[in-house]
Amino acid sequence: MSLDDDDLRAMMQAVRKFAESELAPHAQERDENKHFPVDVLARAGELGLGGIYISEEHGGAELPRTVSVRLFEELARGDVALAAYISIHNMVAWMVDSFATDEVREEWLPELAGMEKLASYCLTEPDAGSDAAALRTTAVLDGDEYVLNGVKQFISGAGSTHVYLVMARTGDDGPRGITAFLVPGDSPGLSFGANERKMGWNAQPTRQVILDGVRIPARLRLGEEGDGFGIAMRGLNGGRLNIAACSLGGASWAVERASTHLRERIAFGKPLSAQQALQFRLADMETSLEASRCLLDRAATALDNGAPDAVKLCAMAKQFVTDHCFDAANAALQLHGGYGYLSEYGVERVVRDLRVHQILEGTNEIMRLIVSRSVLEG
Ligand code: FAD
Ligand code: 2MC
């Protein structure tokens, strides 16, 4: 889809309005009650947010990554945890659109695009996180079905979603022995662990996914046997940009709040905003936000264009943006003094939600590993 400036402005406005009116007002409540609001997600689907970059043919918006990072920044200003789940859902939808057969795409994509059906991405295992290629879940072909056995760890949305994109071993050790499968949520033998108690991201559940002799038709395999690790990583390139964009949205909201607080709070006979030390802190925070926006746009452009350095740039952007935006949000909390520590101000929730972005979709140490490998290998 090619968007002209007017279309883009209208879409951004609609998403901003959705974030302000549907996400922000109940974000605190969802965090406290650990509530995953499938009704709100269905409304996001009506806005086209379930298939942001899947083909128009299958109900998607087919937008470039340069636009999607801006959409996720807007969404995260309303609720970081829900925006991040929408990103994971879109990552799976893109993988189905890019690597499933036409029959499977027709079967799943329209409802995924509308967010009537929700998706989870299952790579991590209890003993294989950063070293994802060490995963041990197996898939064995039996006639025209695959039989899956294993445990996936930390799966976002698990237990509340309708389809699980599972990376499993069909061949030898290492990345070349891995294959990707779509596992319907109602498959016999599929079960879920308890909802993990977490520091943040409380508006979406995180559970183990347990596969005990789960049988799925062979047509639900994505790509060929052995393609799964590459498919999983290609999904993550865009996912890493969106997670970073969610950090940017959360941090930019928190920085705005801090700026308002500095102007309103009087201490030592004048507003806190008159203190140059605090003005300079605010300046550094704002610079972090703008540098993050630039690097995200640069990496998204590289991904859209299939540039040879796109993987490196996505890793660089994920590490830089999630680290700097966490620091900016944490500084916003500090500038609120004791009020920053109170949940009713919302800033502490944003800090808690942003913290995990330095860990998931590849830790920031792994992002540095990807960047340094690319520098050293030339
Ligand atoms: P480990 O790999 O054990 O790492 C421990 C520490 O060692 C980290 O600091 C790491 O950076 C460091 N480290 C490891 N190897 C190296 C190295 N070679 N060099 C330098 N440092 C290194 N996964 C999914 O598949 N799907 C999901 O939906 C999902 N959602 C998640 C939601 C939440 C809330 C959380 C917390 C995690 C989620 N994850 C998900 C898993 C996440 O991707 C992993 O936690 C992450 O990749 C790190 O793996 P690990 O926890 O096993 O840590
Ligand atoms: N994009 C495209 N291809 C990639 C890629 C990427 N980002 N990363 C690796 N590959 C390819 C690579 O080119 C190679 O292909 P080929 O076999 O054709 O040569 C293959 O994958 C194997 O790559 P490596 O040789 O680099 O594999 P290695 O095991 O040494 O390291 C590493 C891979 C560490 C980069 C990878 O395991 C990794 O990214 N780990 C982090 C795991 C992670 O991000 N988990 C996130 C889980 S999801 C989540 O947290 C959510 C919240 C949803």
Query: What pLDDT digit, counting tens, does each position of 149-189 carry?
Result: 999 999 999 999 999 999 999 999 999 999 999 999 999 99
- Cβ atoms of 259 and 281 within 8 Å: the answer is no
CA distances from 125 to 137, 138, 323 (A): 8, 12, 25
Residue 363 CB–ligand 1 contact under 6 Å: yes
CA distance 282 to 37: 34
Q: Which ligand is nearest to the CA of 122?
A: 1
- Cβ atoms of 183 and 176 within 8 Å: the answer is no
Report the residue among 86, 89, 130 best suited for mutation to probe ligand 1: largest number of ligand atoms under 8 A from its CB.
Answer: 130
In the chain, what are the helix, strand and coil shares in percent, each to the nearest 5? 60, 15, 25
pLDDT the model gives residue 37: 98
CA distance 95 to 54: 9
Cα 280 to averaged position of ligand 1 atoms, centre (Å):
35
Atom of ligand 2 nearest to the CA of 229: 21
DSSP character string of 340-366: GGSGGGSHHHHHHHHHGGGTSSS-HHH
Residues marked active site are found at 361
Which tokens go with 214? Answer: 């789960």
Cα 180 to averaged position of ligand 1 atoms, centre (Å):
20
For ligand 2, atom 39, the nearest C-alpha belongs to: 362
pLDDT the model gives residue 4: 77
Residue 122 CB–ligand 1 contact under 6 Å: yes
Q: Give the model confidence (pLDDT) of 221-237 as tens digits.
A: 999 999 999 999 999 99
Residue 91 CB–ligand 1 contact under 6 Å: no
At 23, phi and psi to the nearest 5? -95, -55
CA distance 340 to 358: 21
Among the listed residues 182, 317, 346, the one whose alpha carbon sits nearest the alpha carbon of residue 239 = 317
Residue 372 CB–ligand 2 contact under 6 Å: no
For ligand 1, atom 45, the nearest C-alpha belongs to: 360
Is residue 77 over pLDDT 70? yes
Give the confidence band of 2 by pLDDT, cuts at 50, 70, 90.
low
Dihedral sign, Cα of residue 170, residue 173, residue 177, residue 182: positive
Cα 233 to averaged position of ligand 2 atoms, centre (Å):
5
| 42 Cβ contact partners less than 8 Å away, ≥ 6 residues apart | 114, 115, 116
Which tokens go with 113? Answer: 């695009």
Q: Please give the radius of gyration of the chain, using alpha carbons only, rounded to the nearest integer.
A: 21
Which tokens go with 305? Answer: 């264009």
Residue 358 CB–ligand 1 contact under 6 Å: no
What residues does 148 pair with on adjacent strands? Answer: 139, 214
Cα 130 to averaged position of ligand 1 atoms, centre (Å):
5
Dihedral sign, Cα of residue 320, residue 322, residue 326, residue 328: positive
CA distance 317 to 328: 16
Average pLDDT score over the chain = 97
Which tokens go with 74? Answer: 């807007």
Report percent pLDDT > 90 for the chain. Answer: 97
Is residue 270 over pLDDT 70? yes
CB atoms within 10 A of CB 229: 21
Atom of ligand 2 nearest to the CA of 84: 52
Which tokens go with 124? Answer: 């991590």
CA distance 305 to 35: 38
Report the residue among 229, 240, 319 best suited for mutation to probe ligand 2: largest number of ligand atoms under 8 A from its CB.
Answer: 229
Residue 65, classed as helix, strand or coil, is helix
- Cβ atoms of 335 and 180 within 8 Å: the answer is no
For ligand 2, atom 11, the nearest C-alpha belongs to: 230
pLDDT the model gives residue 207: 98
Residue 121 CB–ligand 2 contact under 6 Å: yes
Is residue 295 over pLDDT 60? yes
Is residue 1 over pLDDT 60? no
CA distance 278 to 270: 13
CA distance 31 to 29: 5
CA distance 159 to 154: 12
- Cβ atoms of 208 and 152 within 8 Å: the answer is yes
For ligand 2, atom 29, the nearest C-alpha belongs to: 133
For ligand 2, atom 14, the nearest C-alpha belongs to: 230
Cα 292 to averaged position of ligand 2 atoms, centre (Å):
23
Residue 123 CB–ligand 2 contact under 6 Å: yes
List domains and CATH numbers for the chain. 5-118 (1.10.540.10), 120-226 (2.40.110.10), 229-377 (1.20.140.10)
At 46, phi and psi to the nearest 5? -60, -30
| 189 Cβ contact partners less than 8 Å away, ≥ 6 residues apart | 148, 211, 212, 213, 214, 215
* Whole-structure pTM value: 0.98
pLDDT the model gives residue 3: 67
